[in-house]
Amino acid sequence: MALFSSLTPVFIAIICILIGVILKKTDGEKEKYETKSKPLSHPWVDEDLKDGTDHHLEEEEWQGPEENVAHVPFSAEHYTEAEMIQRSKMFYELLNKRRSVRFLSDEPVPREVIDNVIRTAGTSPSGAHTEPWTFVVVQDPYLKHKIREIVEEEEEINYKKRMGDRWVNDLKRLRTNWIKEYLDTAPYLILIFKQVYGWLPNGKKKTHYYNEISVSIACGILLAALQVCATSYVRPISHQELTFLLHSVLSDASLPELLLLGGIFRYGKSDK
Amino acid sequence: MALFSSLTPVFIAIICILIGVILKKTDGEKEKYETKSKPLSHPWVDEDLKDGTDHHLEEEEWQGPEENVAHVPFSAEHYTEAEMIQRSKMFYELLNKRRSVRFLSDEPVPREVIDNVIRTAGTSPSGAHTEPWTFVVVQDPYLKHKIREIVEEEEEINYKKRMGDRWVNDLKRLRTNWIKEYLDTAPYLILIFKQVYGWLPNGKKKTHYYNEISVSIACGILLAALQVCATSYVRPISHQELTFLLHSVLSDASLPELLLLGGIFRYGKSDK
């Protein structure tokens, strides 16, 4: 008892230190998340120079745009007010016909059209002109099918395990499920990756500010360009967990993080 | 000494409990951030039904789209391949003329054009068709100037205090500073807010999944629509801290969170 009594402070100290260590550990685990995704706490500046991505600017060598780019004189139309109104109305009517259809035509789309719409998306503005997007076009039926398999496998787990009964019930009305037939049907799949960072000449990472907003704006321009050609795009899925699986299918581990994945198809006779 | 000795375990216990409490407190503070912004850990499902926003679906009553919406038959053009290529090329050439200019014309833009381009942006797809965007157009010179004052005040603090010497040095080359004259010059300011959540009939909050990506895609379509009319948009700033200041200027505290703020202007004779 005397021994116990004299050891009491030691026991208490050990127990308390253990509690401290356990609490600290939990804290550390959360910190990882936080570092990856804490809210925008950095100062906001001129739109061209910032980005919503979490970043630590002080640690980086931020570089401005290349100095050796040739000057392109600015040129623009100057329509009358009546012309402007007419054009804005026509464009609205055209874009208002866009639908997120689920039954796609397999009618071929000229490759030149795909190239042009991606070039158009590439005219999008981006934070500090980083152009943080990578567009991957898949035409090969085998690769399209492999991508479908990956997507469906993950989707099935979602529906059966991850989503919960209420969500699955809600989805019944919309008649969606994990079967993504259109990933085989669409003549092209397009995978849109966001470059969360780039590389400086000295080999250091350079954060791409607001990369997700920039890539999404470019996607909006892509959708507009597709609609102009009477083609469209169905976005079935986007999730970072898929990135690694897709890297392996595409045999390119250097690809950045997946933001959106969809099928490009043509509106037309065989649409339902 | 005997007293001290007998009190030692108590002291140690108190000190250790204090350490534990302090660690727990830090932990709690971080948790707040985490709850607001932890990375996508939810299952991903059909694009129409998910969103990048952090959410706890189980706690919500997710609702599908309204059942009583009239059916709009799908209609679309069907161009020849040559027409498709031609249209995609023309649209690329048109969009490729867009520039993020810094010297704006104050030439009036017809209000009807603004309405049409916003309608066009509103045709954008969105997660679960939540359409989580609010567009606010400001034409009143007094309000425009108030907004400029708010933006410049915050910007000046950024440049002088928050950004650090290196960043400010890098910016010198781009000749940007905290003066945003174009917020007065542009005939219209447009403020684009993201609705992070909506309301259910029972008064509960309903998360808008992927609201930021959805609103950004709509912005891409807005930019395309503006370019079609030879108008454009300069995005000077976006930061959630501004939201509250803008709510007060606009006398509307019910507005959601600011994503982008810019001036709509007309390309033309008086552009530099």
Tokens of A44: 């906001």
The residue of chain B with its CA nearest to that of A27 is B27
pLDDT of residue A15: 58
Per the structure, the count of domains in chain B is 1
Domain span at A108: 97-266
Cα of A230 to nearest chain B Cα, Å: 6
Contacts of A207 in chain B (CB under 8 A): none
pLDDT, average across residues B71-78: 84
Highest mean pLDDT, choosing among A18-27, A104-113, A149-158, B147-156: A104-113
- With CA atoms as reference, report the closest residue to B132 among B148, B142, B121, B141: B121
Taking an 8 Å cut-off on Cβ atoms, the answer to whether B223 and A237 are in contact is no
Q: Can you tell me the distance from the alpha carbon of B152 to that of A118, in angstroms, rounded to the nearest whole number?
A: 36
Asked whether residue A90 is domain-assigned, the answer is no
Tokens of A19: 């509690």
The residue of chain B with its CA nearest to that of A262 is B47
SS3 A9: helix
pLDDT, average across residues B241-251: 81
Task: Look up the ipTM and state it.
Answer: 0.75
Q: Is A92 at the interface with chain B, CB within 8 A?
A: yes
Taking an 8 Å cut-off on Cβ atoms, the answer to whether A235 and B47 are in contact is yes
Taking an 8 Å cut-off on Cβ atoms, the answer to whether B116 and A85 are in contact is yes
The residue of chain A with its CA nearest to that of B262 is A47
Taking an 8 Å cut-off on Cβ atoms, the answer to whether B230 and A75 are in contact is no
Asked whether residue A184 is domain-assigned, the answer is yes
What's the helix, strand, coil split of chain A in %, to 5? 50, 15, 35
Asked whether residue B166 is domain-assigned, the answer is yes
The residue of chain A with its CA nearest to that of B266 is A78
Asked whether residue A214 is domain-assigned, the answer is yes
pLDDT, average across residues B30-43: 32
CATH number at residue B113: 3.40.109.10
Asked whether residue B15 is domain-assigned, the answer is no
Asked whether residue A141 is domain-assigned, the answer is yes
Q: Can you tell me the distance from the alpha carbon of A100 to that of A102, in angstroms, rounded to the nearest whole number?
A: 7
A78 Rama class: left (phi>0) / alpha (psi -120 to 50) / beta = beta
Asked whether residue A20 is domain-assigned, the answer is no
pLDDT of residue B101: 79
Return the percentage of chain A with pLDDT > 70, whole number.
Answer: 67
Q: Is A77 at the interface with chain B, CB within 8 A?
A: yes
Tokens of B21: 């409490």
**pTM of the entire predicted model:** 0.75
Q: Is B74 at the interface with chain A, CB within 8 A?
A: yes
Taking an 8 Å cut-off on Cβ atoms, the answer to whether A269 and B97 are in contact is no
Contacts of A223 in chain B (CB under 8 A): 124-125, 217, 220-221
Residue B259 pLDDT exceeds 80 = yes
pLDDT: is B180 or A241 the higher one? B180
* Total Cβ atoms within 10 A of residue A170: 18
pLDDT, average across residues B70-90: 91
Residue B186 pLDDT exceeds 90 = yes
Asked whether residue A177 is domain-assigned, the answer is yes
Taking an 8 Å cut-off on Cβ atoms, the answer to whether A223 and B217 are in contact is yes
pLDDT of residue B49: 37
Q: What is the full DSSP assignment across A137-187?
A: EE--HHHHHHHHHHHHHHHHHIIIIIS-HHHHHHHHHHT--S--THHHHSS
- With CA atoms as reference, report the closest residue to B210 among B194, B191, B223: B194
A155-179 confidence digits (pLDDT tens): 787 777 776 676 666 666 656 677 8
Residue B96 pLDDT exceeds 70 = yes
pLDDT of residue A236: 63
